[in-house]
Amino acid sequence: MTTKNTENLNVDTFDTMPTPEEIHARLPISDKATKTVTHGRTLLRKILDRQDPRLFVVVGPCSIHDPVAGLDYARSLKALADDVGDVLQIIMRVYFEKPRTTVGWKGYINDPFMDDSFRVDIGMQKAREFLLQVNELGLPTGTEALDPISPQYYGDLITWTAIGARTTESQTHREMSSGLSTPVGFKNATNGDLSVAVNAILSSSRPHSFLGINGAGKVAIVRTKGNAYGHVVLRGGDGRPNYDTVSVSIAEQAMVKAKLPANIVVDCSHANSSKKPELQPLVMADVVNQIRLGNKSLIGVMIESNIEAGNQPIPADLSQLKYGCSVTDGCVDWGTTEKMIRDAAVLLRDVLPLRLS
């Protein structure tokens, strides 16, 4: 009896991937990177537990496509983080996987050469290498968990994880989140529905058992303990923002009703800025003002930022790519980013400590 007539009919080939253990052996985590990750996670948990009054800021390129420009950005961000660290906990946004509504470039891991060669084996190693370099600068990293296998390859180098609007309702991603070693922010659905994020936090806080792989690359039953540090990320939906005081209050009430801590992050991009990157500073300013007026549930923000403003299509001749400019969503430039963060630090420096009183 054979299954050749009934199995894998639409599969072309199976290309072997290096195992997580093999990738880790090639690029082992350093002592400096370990310190960055563990310290960053500890500080985030303290913020979520209301033991640290600071705001955390996940800021960086929409996606990494050029590791040289990415590291250039990281060095500037590290210097800024050191200057505002008494007020803001800075985490670099390092996204390697991009969800697609239809088609498009799926990110640095999936297609590192941006030529449809889809060398995932090389992309995974390059992604880990980049994370190592950023963490060795002393800068914590945050990313979106899209593929449920990827965390086995580089999860030890991540401080904060996002679950995107398209996957928050996915059982697979809720199960995965229950086993992640980082705090996890769940975005509201693309239509603005908040309940899927609240339900995801509840689900991921509990133990789960599901199919995955272990370090040796073998299929395994993954049994998790549950993740106590899930929180909501408001990103707007259906073209409407949800960072205003009314929307934040509704989110607070939904979380209290679910007996969850009212920990809320605002994504300054996506529908909250109508996908117009130049509006992100206005969203950030509104969040800062809400905190100055006494809001205690807003504990973080996300900013899509790069060296250069806007975005660009991927050209056939990659040498024509503009250095430090996004190839996915539009970003604010470095000058705007620095002003947003420094202005927030000035306005919040005397206000945030009052949150502990």
**Looking at the domain assignment, is residue 345 inside a domain?**
yes
User: If you average pLDDT over every residue of the chain, what do you get?
Assistant: 96
DSSP, collapsed to helix, strand or coil, labels residue 219 as strand
- Bridge partners (DSSP) of residue 185 are 162, 231
For 179-207, what is each residue's pLDDT tens digit?
Answer: 999 999 999 999 999 999 999 999 999 99
Tell me the CA end-to-end span of the chain in Å, nearest whole number: 72
**Looking at the domain assignment, is residue 290 inside a domain?**
yes
* Band of pLDDT at residue 104, cut at 50, 70 and 90: confident
**Looking at the domain assignment, is residue 159 inside a domain?**
yes
Sign of torsion over alpha carbons 45, 50, 54, 58:
positive
DSSP, collapsed to helix, strand or coil, labels residue 41 as helix
Q: What pLDDT, on the 0 to 100 scale, is given for residue 304?
A: 98
Cβ atoms within 10 Å, residue 218? 9
Q: Which domain holds residue 160?
A: 20-356
Which CATH number covers residue 35? 3.20.20.70
342 pLDDT higher than 80: yes
**Looking at the domain assignment, is residue 39 inside a domain?**
yes
* AA identity, residue 189: A
DSSP, collapsed to helix, strand or coil, labels residue 165 as coil
Cα separation, 142 vs 278, whole angstroms = 23
**Looking at the domain assignment, is residue 9 inside a domain?**
no
Q: What pLDDT, on the 0 to 100 scale, is given for residue 2?
A: 62
For 317-329, what is each residue's pLDDT tens digit?
Answer: 999 999 999 999 9
**Looking at the domain assignment, is residue 227 inside a domain?**
yes
For 159-173, what is each residue's pLDDT tens digit?
Answer: 999 999 999 999 999
Residue 264 belongs to what H/E stretch?
Answer: strand 264-267
Q: Which of 183, 233, 232 is nearest to 37 (CA)?
A: 183
Q: Contact at 8 Å (CB) between 63 and 142?
A: no
**Looking at the domain assignment, is residue 2 inside a domain?**
no
Looking at the structure of the chain, the number of domains it has is: 1
Q: What pLDDT, on the 0 to 100 scale, is given for residue 161?
A: 98
158 pLDDT higher than 60: yes
Radius of gyration of the chain (CA): 20
* Band of pLDDT at residue 4, cut at 50, 70 and 90: confident
**Looking at the domain assignment, is residue 212 inside a domain?**
yes
Backbone phi, psi, residue 222, to 5°: -90, 120
Cα separation, 79 vs 43, whole angstroms = 19
